[in-house]
Each structure stands twice: as C-alpha cells, then as structure tokens.
Structure 1
Amino acid sequence: DAENSELRRALSAFQLVFVGIGAIIGTGIFVLSGLAAAKNAGPAVTLSFVIAAIAAAFAALSYSEMASMIPVAGSAYTYAYATMGEFVAWTIGWDLILEYMVGAATVGVGWSGYFVKFFAVASGGKIQFAKSWTTPTLTWTENPASISYDEGHYFNVPGFVIIMLITIILVIGIRQSALFNLIVVSIKLLVILIFIFALAGFMYKPNYDPYIPPNTTGDWHFFGVPGIFAAATTVFFSYIGFDAVTTAALEAKNPQRDLPIGIIGSLTISTVLYLAFCTIMTGAAKYTDFLNSPTPASVAVEAVMQRTGKNFEWLNILVAIGAVCGLTSVLLINLLGQSRVFYAMAQDGLLPPMFAKVHPKFKTPWIATLTIGFITAVLSAILPVDLLGNMTSVGTLLAFFVVHLGVIVLRFTRPE
C-alpha cells in the first residue's frame, strides 16, 4: 500500500515536526494550564506537565517504532490491522474517527470563543457578536447528566465556518495544507515566545508561595502531591496530537526516517514550551486567579498590568491572535487525521469504496475529507464544549493501549 499510494509524497521531517506541534499545542496551553493550576496543583502545575510528558513519551516511543515498521496512513488503525486483525482494526478505526471528530469539534467551539474575544479586545469592546450566533445550540449539565436546548442560542457560526474553510484547504492539497499549517504554527510559537520573554521580568515571587498548596479539603485531587497527579491527568490532553503525524505516513517523503523525527521532535519542543509558559503564567498571577477562566494567558497579562501599571494591552491582543492560530492548527491536523483514517479503512474494504477515491488533480481523499469536515462542523455548531471535551480522552487512551499492545505482539510474531 505504501508503495502504490496515489497520495502525493510532499512532507519532510521538518514539516512533520510542525504537523505534530500544530496538533499538540492548542487547547492545553491556552485553556487547560490555568484550570489545572487553579483547581488541582497551584504553581506545581509545571510538575504535572512533566509527569504527563513522561507518560506521553512512552506512547510516542511506541508510535515511533510502529510508524517506522508500518509506514502507512491510518495511525493506530493500521497498526491494529497489521498486528491483531480486522475486527480489532475496525473497532479502533471508528474509535479514532470519533476521537478526531469530537476533538476537532471541541476545538471549533474554543476557536469561536477566542475569535469573538480577539475582536472585543482589539476594538476596545466596540465590536461585539450576538451570543445567539457564537454559542452552541445545546447545553450540557453534568450533575445530574442531561442535555437540553438553550433557548436563544441558535448556531455556533464561527465554529462551523472555520471547520468548513479548513476542510476546503485540506481538499485542495497536502502541500497547501502543510504551508498553511507552517504559517499558523509559526505565528502561534512566536506569540508564545513573546509572552514568555515579555513577562519574564515581571514575575512576582509571592505568587509561587506555596509552590505546592496544601490540601485542606480532604478531597485527594485538590492540591498537595495527589493534586499534582490529578492535574497531570487533566493536562495529559495537552499532549495528544503527536499521533496525528502517523496519519500522514503516505504523504511523507521518507516515512521510516521522518515519522519518528516528527513524533519525538514535536513532543520535545511542545514540552519545553509548556514548562516555560506555565512557569511564567503562575509567576505573573496568583494561581487562584485562573479559576473558571478559559483564557489564563490573558489573566496573567492583566495581573501584571494591575500590579505594575504598565500597558501590556498589545500583549493581550497578541495572545488572542496566538490562541486563534493555535486552535486553527489543531483543527487542521485533527481533520487531516480523521480523513486519512477514513481513507485507510475504505482501502481495506471496511468502509464504502467511494471514501478511498483520490481527487485526480489535488491527490487528496476528497470525499472522505468533505464528509468528515461537514459532520464535524455541525457537531461544533450545536454541541457544548464541556460535553465534547468529556468524550475525547477515552478514545485517545484506547488508541494508545492498542499501539502499545501492537508493539508487544510484533516482538513475538515479527521480531525482525
């Protein structure tokens, strides 16, 4: 399959690293870092990121080994097919499709929020979008679990539109998609670095005291050492995405060499940036300030402005731009990943053959891409972010488990 692929081999190791970074750095750094600090670990959230990185590294090593041995599109689905047969592969294939779909829809809702915030901040509050067209149709209540129609919230238009635009870019071609990803990831990384260096001189030592807040509630996941591990389970979501590198195997120039570089390289760079970002963020503002805020970087900037009187409004605008770019790249890679799994399953006869059709001009699986993109856009428009977020991690953990198991199976069945 790898040799007879109709897809265009256009991705270098450098571009694959950016594919990985595009998928990894997004929701975790711009949303989850502050929530994990406020609810679980305090300033010690940096240790939580280290623990999560170690766990992700084990998964990354298994993915790297499988990618070098089986350099075919489809990620965990293909590895399951090659090592454990058709039924397991069919199950994990649908698991991956739903994981990427729900993940992309989640990010679409978040993208809409940052998009609205950017215009509000940049215009000084003059540009405001109607809430009825920027929030999902349905509302989710966790305790007791229920979903209901939110009267007055019609359709999340920005979330729907951005997903459809990225879907069209993916249909046009992998080279264009890679270039678009390179641009938005570069902007995202630049904004993160500017944030780190701009606030590095404004750290407030009392914000780090205590570094590990004591557990005073009796509930194990609120602060203390157990809270660090509880936060690690939350921020682990920040590292999922490196597996998307393997879905582009048939479009890599030298997959056996470049895929492991893309996986390990993107995970390493992302970890360093996460640690630096969290250190600056929790030093700029007290960890309790991040409670119930989906924009922790903005909270940190505003805390520095209040404490020092300096004008960092430009940084607030930059952070909003970085968040929009960051979430855009995550959307692109998630949509790329699920369309390639769809394509691989159709090639193996587990989905209708029309999903394996490659566009004669663009050399992309256009029917699979458009189908997946439209369904994801609709989910993003009508479902709330908390419901979508709760559905994402289970699929990821199952995929990781299958890849680990696949490596063990190959150790015994194909040791060479």
Structure 2
Amino acid sequence: MEEAHGHHVGVVTHHELKQSLSTLQLWAIAVGLVISGEYFGWSYGWATAGTLGFTVTALFIAAMYTTFIFSFTELTTSIPHAGGPFAYARHAYGPTGGYFAGAATLIEFVFAPPAISLAIGAYLNVQFPALDPKVAALGAYIIFMGLNIIGVEIAATFELVVTVLAIFELLVFMGVVSPGFSIANFVKGGWSGQDQFSGAAISGMFAAIPFAIWFFLAIEGVAMAAEEAKDPKRSIPIAYITGILTLLFLAIGVMLFAGAAGDWTLLSNINDPLPQAMKFIVGEKSGWLHMLVALGLFGLVASFHGIIIGYSRQIFALARAGYLPPVLAKVHPKFKTPWIAILAGGAVGIAAIFSDNLLVIGGQPLTANIVTMSVFGAILMYIISMASLFKLRQTEPTMARPFRAPFYPWFPAFALIAAGVCMIAMIYYNFLIFIIFCVLLAIGYLYFLTTAKRREESPIDALIESTDELKAEGVQP
C-alpha cells in the first residue's frame, strides 16, 4: 500500500469478497430477485386501473425496464463493483452523485424485503391459520439472513433451486387455471372509468405505475453481485438479458391467466391473488391449491433471499467507501460475506414490518405503502444511472466497455424519460410517502456532509478510481 495525501490508496484486501458465481447463478439471482413480483403486489394495480388499464401501464413499464437493462448492463460490465449504481454515479458525478444513487438504491433494497416477508406470512397463514403473518415474516428474516452469512456460493445455489421451482410453479398455475380461461372475464370492467379515454381511466393508469414496476423491481440487483462473479464482463450481460426475457414472459402470462379465471375484482386488493384465482377453478379443497401455496412460497423466498444479497452488498460498498459507518464493511473472516451489513439491513426491515401505524398512509394497506417507498428509491436510482451513462460516454469515451448499450442514445434516453414520467406520476399519487422518502434522503445527506473526512481517509477503491486519477494522486497503479 502506498501513502498519498495522508490516506491509503490501493485495493482493500481485508474487504475482498469471494469470486465464485457462475452465469447460471447470476441468471437465477436476476430472476429470483424479482419473481415474487409475479406472485403478489401487482394486483393492487387492478384495483387502481382495472385489468385493461393496468395492462397498458404494465406494457409501458416493461418497455422501460427492457431499455433500462440493456443500457444498465454497459455500466455494470464497465465498473463491476458491489456498490452497483452508487459506483457508477460516483464515477460520473463525484461523491454527491454517489450519495444520492447509493441512498436511493438502499431505500429500494431495504424496503422491498419487508413487503415480501409480509407476503410470505400471508401465504403461510393460508396453510396455518393460527400463525401470525408478522411472526412468520420475522422468522423468514432470521433464517435467510443466517443463510446469507454462511456464504455467497451456498446462498446463490439455494437461489438457483428456489428460482427454478418458482418458475415451474407459475407455469403450473397457468396450466391449472387454463380450463376456466375466458377473455370475457379479463376485459369485464377492465377500465377504471366508463371507457379507456375517460379521465378516470387515464388517471388510474398513472396511479398504477408502482404496481407495474413491482413486476420487475430489483432486477438491477445483479450488479451488486458483480465483484463475486467469476467472469462479470461476459456473464452479467447474459444473466441480465435472459433474466428480463424470462420475467416478461412470466409477468404477461400470470396477469392474463389470473384475470381470465373469474371475477378479477376479488383479486385486486389482496396479498395472495394466485391461490385465490385458483379457487375459482378448482375450489377450496383442491390439492392443487395447497400445492400452489406450498410451492408459491418458493417465489417469495427467492426474491426475499436475493434482495438480502443486494441490500447487504450495497451497505457494504457504501461503508467501504466511507459513506456509512466503517463497521458495516466488515467481512466475516471465515465465510467472506458482509455479515454486519446483512444484519443491519434486516433490522430496518423488521422494524418496518411492525410499524403498521406509521406506514398506513392514505388508507392504503401497509404492504402497498412499503412497495411504494421501495419504488421511489428504484426510480430515483434509474434516473441517476441513465444520467451517469450519458455523462461517462462524454467524459470517459475511452473507458473499456465490454458491453455497449444497443441503439444508443435511444434506449437509455427512453429509459430515462420513462423513469421521469414514473417519478412525476408517483409523486402526484403518493405525495405523503414522497415526503417521507425526501426526509430519509435529507437525513442521510446531513450525515454525508458530516463525514467528508472519513471518505477522504477511506482506501481508494481500485474498481472505481481510474488509472489517471491514481496517477494524479502520485501513485502508480
């Protein structure tokens, strides 16, 4: 290690994560992160927009995510770093840009797991009515934080198994309800208003944006496993692109088959729409129903477990760079996992589960509000990431880009504009939650301002700082 201007420069050996993830494991993380979004959460969009209105919203969001992922992959392969969006924004816009991207990603990834754990509780409650869903949610946190601490390879192998089972289960669901498939059921009362051009219908489509985003939310979390991938420049583009295609197919299939199975209005404000849709076809007592509830847990577990991988790497990377207390960057000496970061993110999520009175806002269910808070973080991060892509193309044209965004600048521009539209709509329809989101960012920013000295003293991250910057510090990389 060399000394320069009083602080260390170089790679931080005691913070290194283990490089062990294959392309297939990364694909499983990409799909697994998101797949719970096919099981629950999206049906709140039907309550807001109707089936047809929500279909329009979902197709718009699908286009945004497809263009975003093709663009985001350029950043992920150019800067393969556990901080993901935080690293790209810090590279493009300096420490303040890094703060806002990192904080937004943290809010997205810390608030998504409590929503999923509550859904795990709701699914288990169907099987075991005496079990309190919140107690089940707490149990899920304890089990999967433990599994994540034991090691990323074990965690990723588990993720692969549960993701494949979850995909199989969604295909089984479509097959079981297909005998009752009726497009007339799907289109009946499909607009929230008299017709598709009414003010109520258009308003409903915009209000349903967070629930369409829930279909794809967190796929970008694969970026945070980049330091643990065996060959990130090759494997991450394959994982992302096959992942988004898998999710597009499943999202369209699940929504269409559930809505066509019976009276979709009975599914529009609940946490377990798929088992309830199945009841239309096979009745209350069917073994199919119990199988769906049992295996349906795999989808929720895949996302819950995958997002713990994501939030812990984000906390770890922010702490390593001096944006959070250094203790959060400690790696377990035996398992080589960021164990304190895993526990810290879990503590926030568990607090959210038991904060009904604080997070029941505007008459919305607790789960819907937690989803909305997570989506605010995601959208801000998408905007900053696409802006970072444009900035780095200008300021660092010679940077190694193993994967380049196709149809540049059109794909990233569409993703950026679509994310901007989503943000405006989200603020309009969820103003109180937006205020809470801004307060969280402001508190974090005050902390950011008081810790400048710590960031200066943090070891420069070899994956972020360019060769020229190191030379400017008087250090030979």
TM range (shorter): 0.7 to 0.9
Quote the offset at 1:265 in angstroms: 1.6
Question: 2:40 aligns to what?
Answer: 31
Out of 173, 186, 210, the position equivalent to 1:195 is 173
Partner of 1:343: 316
Q: 2:23 aligns with which of 13, 25, 28?
A: 13
Cα-to-partner distance string for 1:238-292 (whole Å, 9 max, x where unaligned): 2111111000011001111111222222111011011111221111113323233
User: For 1:387 and 1:213, how far apart are their aligned partners in 2?
Assistant: 23
Q: How far apart, in 2, do the equivalents of 1:9 and 1:250 lie?
A: 6
Alpha-carbon distance between aligned partners in 1 of 2:97 and 2:380, rounded to the nearest angstrom:
11
Matched, 1:304 2:314: no
Q: What letter corresponds to residue 201 of structure 1 in structure 2? A: P
Q: Aligned residue for 2:389?
A: 407
Residue 208 of structure 1: how far off its partner (Å): 3.7
1:363-413: CA deviation from partner (whole Å, max 9, x where unpaired): 111222222223322332344434423321111111001100110001100
Q: 1:72–1:250: 8 Å Cα contact kept in structure 2?
A: yes
Give the corresponding residue for 1:62: 71
Contact 2:48-2:205 at 8 Å conserved across structures: no
Q: 1:22 aligns with which of 32, 44, 49?
A: 32
In structure 2, distance between residues paired with 1:227 and 1:185: 32
Aligned with residue 356 of structure 1, among 320, 324, 329: 329
1:233 Cα offset (Å): 4.7
CA distance in 2: counterparts of 1:265 and 1:233, whole angstroms: 23
Q: How far did residue 45 of structure 1 move?
A: 4.0
User: Out of 324, 327, 334, which is 2:300 matched to?
Assistant: 327
User: How far apart in 2 are the matches of 1:269 and 1:202?
Assistant: 25
Residue type of the alignment partner of 1:252: A
Unaligned runs of 5+ in 1: 121-127, 136-155
Task: Give the letter aligned to residue 335 of structure 2.
Answer: F
Structure 2: gaps spanning 5 or more residues: 1-9, 357-365, 399-477
Q: Which amino acid aligns with 1:388?
A: I
Match of 1:94 among 85, 103, 108: 103
Structure-2 change in CA distance of 1:94 and 1:280 (3 Å): same
In the alignment, is residue 184 of structure 1 matched against residue 194 of structure 2?
no
Read off the aligned partner of 1:193 and give its amino acid letter: L
Q: Give CA-to-partner distance per residue, 1:148-202, whole Å, 9 cap, x none.
A: xxxxxxxx22111211211111111001101111122122111101111222232
| Structure of higher RCO (CA pairs closer than 8 Å, 6+ residues apart) | 1
CA deviation vs aligned residue, 1:301-345 (integer Å, no higher than 9, x gap)? 121236xxxx87222112212332212121112211111111112
Change over 3 Å in CA distance of 1:186–1:212 after alignment to 2 = same
* 1:370-381 pair list within 5 angstroms: 370-381=343-354
Secondary structure of the structure 2 residue equivalent to 1:8: coil
Q: CA deviation at 1:349?
A: 2.1
Change (3 A) 1:243 1:187: same
Identity of aligned residues (%): 23
Give matches, 1:204-223, under 5 Å: 204-210=182-188, 212-213=190-191, 215-216=193-194, 222-223=200-201
Contact persistence 2:210–2:372 (CA under 8 A): no
Q: Give the structure 2 partner of residue 71 of structure 1.
A: 80
1: distance between equivalents of 2:373 and 2:343? Answer: 23
Which residue is 1:268 aligned to?
Answer: 245
TM-score norm. by structure 1 comes to: 0.84
Select 2:235's aligned residue among 258, 261, 264. Answer: 258
Give the CA deviation at 1:92. Answer: 2.3
Displacement after TM superposition at 1:213 (Å): 3.9
Residue 73 to residue 205, structure 1, CA distance change in 2 (3 Å): closer
Whole-Å separation in 1 of the counterparts to 2:209 and 2:199 = 11
